[in-house]
Structure formats: C-alpha cells, structure tokens
Structure 1
Amino acid sequence: MKLLKKILKIVGIALFVLFLVLYYLFWNFSAPKSDVKVLKKFSGSSVTPVLTYENFKGFKYRKLSIIKDTTLPTLVFVHGTIGSSTDFVKYMKDSALLNKANMISYDRIGYNYQDKNLVQESIAFERDMLKNILHDITPHKTILVGYSYGGPITLAIQEKVRKVILLAPAVYSKVEPMPWSLNLYKWKVTRWLVPPIWQEASKEKLSHKQDLQLFENNWESTPNNIVSIHGTNDWIVPIENSLFLKEQFPKNQFELISIPDAGHGFIWSKFDTIKEHFIQQLD
C-alpha cells in the first residue's frame, strides 16, 4: 500500500509538472511576438517588411509593409480572432506574390505585442481602422484579404476597391459556434487560467454574434466584387457563412471557392492552393 501511494504521488507530481510545461509552451506560443521575433520570421526572404507603429483614434498598433512598386496592386491582410500580422508571413515571403503585389499586414487593437489596449469588439471600429490604413493606397489597386473575423471587417468596407477576398469569413450569426472552452473565460474562477491574448479573443468571440446582426442583412450593399474561399470541413467558421453570402449577391459579383476537406487553418495547411487563387486575382 505504501509503495502504491508513493507511485501515485510520483505520477501525480509528474503530471502536474507536465501540465505546467505544456501550459507555458501554449502561453508562450500564442502570445504576440516582439518586433525582433516578427522580423526574424522574414529571414531568408528577398524582401524584409518595414515595421512601423501607427495610431488610430489614440490606439497604437503595429504594421508590416512591403511596398516595392507603386504601380503594382497591394494585398492588405486582416487577421482573425485569435491572430496577428504574422499570420500571413508565408505569403509575404513568397517570391511569386512579391513579383506581383505590394503587401500590408497589421495587428488589430488588443493583439499587439504587450498591448495595453483591449479588443474593441466592434466591426464598425475595425472597418474604420482599416479605412484609415487604406487612406494612402490607390483604391483600384487595393485587394483586401480578410481571414475569419477579418472577413466581416473587409466586407464592411463601402468604398470601391479592386477586389475583396474572404478566407473562411465569419459573417453569419446564426451559424456562429460557441466552443465549450469559452466557459473557461466566462467563469471567473477559471479565467486566470486563460492567457491574456486568449482572454481578448474570448471577449471578441462572445460579442461577435450580436455585432454581426448589425451588418449581416446588408452585406450586399458593398460595391465590391467578392471572392470567398472556404474549407468544407471548417467547424470553427462553417462554410454555411460563405453559402449565406452567396445567396445575397448576384452571380457576377460573388464567387465561392470551396476547398475540399480543408479546415479553418487552411491558410497555412493549403498555402499553395490559396496562393494560386491570389495569383489568379492579381493577373
């Protein structure tokens, strides 16, 4: 019996230590990266982005810009929840895309490195911030790329641009899933377990469904042509979001491209496929 208790004690301690290690790795992996680490991700690339800090309505945010040739179109990437400007590093390093476009990516408020600001939980705020970023870019050379929560932000832009590309856009409140893990944030007794960046993402996720209801019945009011790319196996943002959009737009304004067997992380797992669709829109 003493031996059994000793074994159970050792196993318990080992499991606890393992939990702490995995928790630290998860915390560290998902936390926004420093400027040095962000730029290091571009090592080996033929072009290093210009990293700047910009201001919008008193909020400071980080922006990555690759502007080589003003005669080229510009891809402007808008990340989701949880996310950052570095979600699109692989695209911003790709030589084929670099030959065809300038590129901009930025950290939304609440997702910057050591950000002291909270997420704004407002598509309208995010839309206006994006409009501010687009101020110095020629509209007919601008291609907006919105991933996940970034989808409704780009779709809410009412100014005419060259094209809007949606990647698994979260645009329809009725199919917005609420994972059980959100309860860890909702319950005060367990909230401390949720890393700060995930707390911000949780707040944005919990308010997103209601916020969408202010926009979702008027998506067709945009003057822009839309391409929506969606994985058929996406359970985080189901493809019904893109099917909902397809019903709102005329055929000559909206194109749905479904990626068989792809999940929500397809911007990484299906990089070559997504890249080819980008190139088609740039040609």
Structure 2
Amino acid sequence: MKLLKKILKFVGIAFFVLFLVLYYLFWNFSAPKSDIKVLEKFSGSSVTPILTYENFKGFEYRKLSIIKDTTLPTLVFVHGTIGSSTDFVKYMKDSALLSKANMISYDRIGYNYQDKNPVQESIAFERDMLKNIFKDIKPNKTILVGYSYGGPIALAIQEKVRKVILLAPAVYSKVEPMPWSLNLYKWKVTRWLVPPIWQEASKEKLSHKQDLQVFENNWKSTPNTIVSIHGTNDWIVPFENSLFLKEQFPKNQFELISIPDAGHGFIWSKFDTIKEHLIQQLD
C-alpha cells in the first residue's frame, strides 16, 4: 500500500511538472515577439524588412515593410485571431514572390509586442486602420491578403484596389464555431490560466459573430475582384464561409479556390500551394 502511494505521488508530481513545462512553452511560443526576434526570422533572406512603429487614432502598432520597386504591386497581409505580422514571414522571404511584389505586414491592435491596448473587437475599426496603412500605395498596385479574421477586414474595404485575396476568411456568422476552450476565458475562476494574448484573442472571437452580422449581408457591395482560397477540412473557419461568399457575387467578380483536405493552418502547411496561387494572382 505504501509503495502504491509513493508511485501515485511520483506520477502526480511528474504530471504536474510536465503540465508546467508545456504551459510555459505554450505561453512563450504564442506571445508576441520582440523586434529583435522578429528581424531574426528574416536571417538568411535576401531582403530584410523595414520595421517601424506607426500610429492610428492614438494606437501604436508595428509594421514590416519590404518596398523594393514602386512599379511592382504590393501585397498587404492582414493576420487573423490569434496572429501577428510574422505569420507571413515565409512569404516575405520567398525569392519568387519578392521578384514580383512589395510586401507589408502589421500587428493589429492588441497583438503588438508588449501591447497595453486591448483588441478593438470591431471590423469597422480594423477596416479603417487597413485603409490608413495602404493609403500611400496606388490602388491599382494594392493587393489585400486577409487570413481568417483578417478576411472580413480586407473584404470590408470599399475603395477599389487591384484585388482582394482571402485565405480561409471568417465572414459568415451562422457557421462561426465557438470552441469549448473559450470557457476558460469566460469563467473568471479559470481566466488567469489563459495567457494575455489568448485573452485578447478570446475577446475578439466572442464578439466576432455579432460583429459579422453588421457586414455579411453587404459583402457584395465591394467594387473589388475577390479570390477566396480555403481548405475543405477547415473546422476552425469552415469551408462554408467561402461557399457563402460564392453565392453573393457574380462569377466574373469572385473566384473560389478549394484546397482539398487542408485545415485552417494551410498558410503554413500548404505554403508552396498558397504561394503558387499568390504568384498566379500577381501575373
């Protein structure tokens, strides 16, 4: 009996230590990175982005810019929830893409390194911020690329640009999933377990469904040509989102590209496929 108690105690301590280690790794991995860490991600690249801090309506945010040739189009990447400007590092380092486009990526408010500001929980705010970011680029040279929550932000732009490319866009409230893990944030007794950046993501996720209802019946009012690229096995932002968009637009304004068996993380797992589609849109 004493031996059994010792074994159970040892196993309990081992699991607790393992939990702490995994929790620390998760916290550290998902936390926004410092400027030094961000630029380190571009080591070995032929081009290093210019990292600047910009201001919009009193909010400071970080922006990465690679502007080599103003005669080329510019890809403006908009990240999702949870996310950051570094979600698109592999694209911004790719020589084939660099030969065809300038690139900009930025941290949305609430997702900056050591950001003291909360997420704004507003597609309208995010849309206006995005407009401010590309205001100095010629419209016919501007290609917006919105991933996940960044999809409706790019789609909400009413100004004419060269093209809007959506990657697994979360644009339809009726199929917006609410993972059980959100309860860890909703319950005050467990909220402290949720890393700060995930608390901000949880707030944005919880308000997103209602915010979408303001926009989703008017997506077709955009003057822009839309390309939506979506994985058929995406359970975080279901493929039905892009099918919903397909019903809203005439065929000459909207193109749906499905990626068989791909999940929500396809911007990383299917990098070569997504890259080729981006190149095709640039040609």
Global fold match (TM > 0.5):
yes
Which residue in the other structure is 1:271 paired with?
Answer: 271
Give the distance between the partners of 2:102 and 2:112, measured in 1 at CA.
22
What are the Cα deviations for residues 81-139 of structure 1, in whole angstroms up to 9, with x where unaligned? 00000000000000000000000000000000000000000000000000000111111
Instruction: Report deviation, 1:220.
Output: 0.3
Give the distance between the partners of 1:212 and 1:8, measured in 2 at CA.
50
How many residues are treated as equivalent by the alignment? 283
What are the Cα deviations for residues 41-100 of structure 1, in whole angstroms up to 9, with x where unaligned? 000000000000000000000000000000000000000000000000000000000000
Give the distance between the partners of 1:264 and 1:92, measured in 2 at CA.
20
What are the Cα deviations for residues 183-225 of structure 1, in whole angstroms up to 9, with x where unaligned? 0000000000000000000000000000000000000000000
Instruction: Report deviation, 1:177.
Output: 0.2
Instruction: Report deviation, 1:260.
Output: 0.2
Secondary structure of the equivalent of 1:136? Answer: coil
Instruction: Report deviation, 1:273.
Output: 0.5
Structure 1, unaligned stretches of length 5 or more?
Answer: none
Give the distance between the partners of 2:131 and 2:90, measured in 1 at CA.
25
Give the distance between the partners of 1:70 and 1:33, measured in 2 at CA.
29
Give the distance between the partners of 1:219 and 1:172, measured in 2 at CA.
10
Structure 2, unaligned stretches of length 5 or more?
Answer: none
Instruction: Report deviation, 1:244.
Output: 0.3
Give the distance between the partners of 1:58 and 1:133, measured in 2 at CA.
14
Give the distance between the partners of 1:97 and 1:84, measured in 2 at CA.
20
What are the Cα deviations for residues 150-186 of structure 1, in whole angstroms up to 9, with x where unaligned? 0000000000000000000000000000000000000
- Of 3-12 and 60-69, more deviation after overlay is shown by 3-12
Which residue in the other structure is 1:107 paired with?
Answer: 107
Give the distance between the partners of 1:126 and 1:44, measured in 2 at CA.
32
Give the distance between the partners of 1:103 and 1:132, measured in 2 at CA.
16
Secondary structure of the equivalent of 2:235? Answer: coil
Give the distance between the partners of 2:216 and 2:157, measured in 1 at CA.
13
Give the distance between the partners of 2:16 and 2:217, measured in 1 at CA.
49
Instruction: Report deviation, 1:8.
Output: 0.7
Secondary structure of the equivalent of 1:152? Answer: helix
What TM-score comes out, normalization by structure 2 length? 1.00
Which residue in the other structure is 1:183 paired with?
Answer: 183
Give the distance between the partners of 1:65 and 1:219, measured in 2 at CA.
29
Give the distance between the partners of 1:195 and 1:139, measured in 2 at CA.
39
What TM-score comes out, normalization by structure 1 length? 1.00
Instruction: Report deviation, 1:233.
Output: 0.1
Which residue in the other structure is 2:32 paired with?
Answer: 32
What are the Cα deviations for residues 242-270 of structure 1, in whole angstroms up to 9, with x where unaligned? 00000000000000000000000000000
Give the distance between the partners of 2:13 and 2:241, measured in 1 at CA.
45
Instruction: Report deviation, 1:239.
Output: 0.6
